[in-house]
Structure 1
Amino acid sequence: MYTVADLLTTTAARMPDRVAVIDGSTATTYGDLHERARRCATLIARQTQPGDRVAILLPRSVDALAAYFGAHLAAAAPVFIHDQLGRRQVAHIVEHAGAHLILTTSRYHPRLRDLDLTDRPVVDPATLQETPLPTARPRIGGDIAGLIYTSGSTGTAKGVTVTHDNLLAGATIVSDYLHLVPTDRTLALLPWSFDYGLNQVLASFAVGATVVIQRSWFGPDICRTLDAAQVTGLAGVPSLWAALTWPRSPLLHRPQPALRYITNSGGPLAPATIEQLHEGQPHLDIVLMYGLTEAFRSTYLDPAHVSARPTSIGKAIPNTEIIIVGDDGRPCPPGVTGQLVHRGPTVALGYWQDPDTTAQVFRPHPFPAAGHPAETVVYSGDYVRADTDGYLYYIGRRDELFKSRGIRVTTTEIETEIRASGLVRDAVVAAVDTDGPDPLLIAAVTLANGTSNLTDLSAYCRRELAPHLQPHEIVVLETMPTTSTGKTDRAAMRDQLSQPHTSGKAQP
Structure 2
Amino acid sequence: MYTVADILAASAARTPARTAVIDGHTRISYGELNERARRCASLLARRVDPGDRVAILLPRGVDALAVYFGAHLAGAVPVFVHDQLRPRQVAHIVAHAGARLVCTSTRHHKLLRDIDLPDAAIVNISTLRESPLLTAVPRIGRDLAGLIYTSGSTGTAKGVAVTHDNLLAGAGIVAVYLHLESRDCTMAILPWSFDYGLNQVLATFAAGGSVVIQRSTFGPDICRTLAAADVTGLAGVPSLWVALTGSGSPFRQSRLPALRYITNSGGPLAPATIDKIRTAQPHLDIYLMYGLTEAFRSTYLDPAQVADRPTSIGKAIPNTEVLVIDDDGRPCPPGAVGELVHRGPTVAFGYWHDPDATAAVFGPHPHQPAGFRDVGPAETVVYSGDYVKADTDGYLYYVGRRDELFKSRGIRVTTSEIEAEVRASGMVTEAVVAVTTGGPDPHLVAAVLLSGGATLGDLRAYCRDELAPHMQPHEIVARDTMPTTSTGKTDRSAVRAHLTTQIATQLTTAATVQP
How does the TM-score come out when normalised to structure 2? Answer: 0.96
Q: What are the equivalent positions in structure 2 for 1:432-443 lying under 5 Å apart?
A: 432-436=436-440, 438-443=441-446
Q: Structure 1 residue runs of 4+, over 4 Å off?
A: none
Counterpart of 1:133, as a letter, is: L
- Residue 483 of structure 1 corresponds to which residue in structure 2? 485
Distance 2:36 2:269 in 1: 39
Q: What are the equivalent positions in structure 2 for 1:74-113 lying under 5 Å apart?
A: 74-113=74-113
1:140 CA displacement: 0.5
Using the TM superposition, name which of 295-304 and 105-114 deviates more. Answer: 105-114
1:102/1:120 contact within 8 Å kept: no
Distance 1:485 1:152 in 2: 8
Distance 1:12 1:315 in 2: 35
- Residue 455 of structure 2 corresponds to which residue in structure 1? 453
- Residue 176 of structure 1 corresponds to which residue in structure 2? 176
Distance 1:418 1:435 in 2: 24
- Residue 48 of structure 2 corresponds to which residue in structure 1? 48
The percentage of counterpart residues that share the same residue type is 72
Question: What secondary structure, in the 3-state scheme, does the structure 1 residue paired with 2:17 have?
Answer: coil
1:119 CA displacement: 7.6
Counterpart of 2:444, as a letter, is: L
Distance 1:435 1:247 in 2: 41
Q: What are the equivalent positions in structure 2 for 1:57-76 lying under 5 Å apart?
A: 57-76=57-76
Counterpart of 2:462, as a letter, is: Y
Distance 2:414 2:350 in 1: 27
**Unaligned ranges ≥5, structure 1:** 504-508
- Residue 140 of structure 2 corresponds to which residue in structure 1? 140
Matched, 1:397 2:401: yes
Matched, 1:20 2:20: yes
Question: What secondary structure, in the 3-state scheme, does the structure 2 residue paired with 1:408 have?
Answer: strand
Question: What secondary structure, in the 3-state scheme, does the structure 1 residue paired with 2:179 have?
Answer: coil
Question: What secondary structure, in the 3-state scheme, does the structure 2 residue paired with 1:292 have?
Answer: coil
Counterpart of 2:226, as a letter, is: L
Distance 1:444 1:375 in 2: 42
1:254 CA displacement: 2.0
1:100/1:120 contact within 8 Å kept: no
- Residue 418 of structure 1 corresponds to which residue in structure 2? 422
Using the TM superposition, name which of 373-382 and 403-412 deviates more. Answer: 373-382
1:370 CA displacement: 3.6
Instruction: Describe the shift of the 1:367–1:120 C-alpha distance in structure 2 as closer, same or farther (beyond 3 A).
Output: farther
Deviations 1:478-507 (A, max 9, x none): 11110000000111110011122799xxxx
Q: What are the equivalent positions in structure 2 for 1:329-408 lying under 5 Å apart?
A: 329-372=329-372, 373=376, 374-408=378-412
1:37/1:67 contact within 8 Å kept: yes
Distance 1:328 1:4 in 2: 39
Counterpart of 2:306, as a letter, is: V
1:120 CA displacement: 5.7
- Residue 245 of structure 1 corresponds to which residue in structure 2? 245
Using the TM superposition, name which of 301-310 and 362-371 deviates more. Answer: 362-371
Q: What are the equivalent positions in structure 2 for 1:170-319 lying under 5 Å apart?
A: 170-319=170-319
- Residue 323 of structure 1 corresponds to which residue in structure 2? 323
Matched, 1:428 2:429: no
1:432 CA displacement: 0.9
> How big is the alpha-carbon RMSD for the aligned residues of Structure 1 and Structure 2?
1.1
Question: What secondary structure, in the 3-state scheme, does the structure 2 residue paired with 1:45 have?
Answer: helix
- Residue 466 of structure 2 corresponds to which residue in structure 1? 464
Residue from 436, 442, 447 that aligns with 1:444: 447
Counterpart of 1:305, as a letter, is: Q
Distance 1:343 1:222 in 2: 36
**Unaligned ranges ≥5, structure 2:** 507-515
Distance 1:153 1:249 in 2: 29
Distance 1:454 1:435 in 2: 26
Distance 1:172 1:42 in 2: 28
Distance 2:63 2:387 in 1: 40
Question: What secondary structure, in the 3-state scheme, does the structure 2 residue paired with 1:217 have?
Answer: coil
Q: How many residues align?
A: 501
Question: What secondary structure, in the 3-state scheme, does the structure 2 residue paired with 1:498 have?
Answer: helix
1:336 CA displacement: 0.4
Deviations 1:86-145 (A, max 9, x none): 111111111110001110011111211112222861112222010000011111000000
Deviations 1:446-503 (A, max 9, x none): 011x331111101100110000000000000011110000000111110011122799
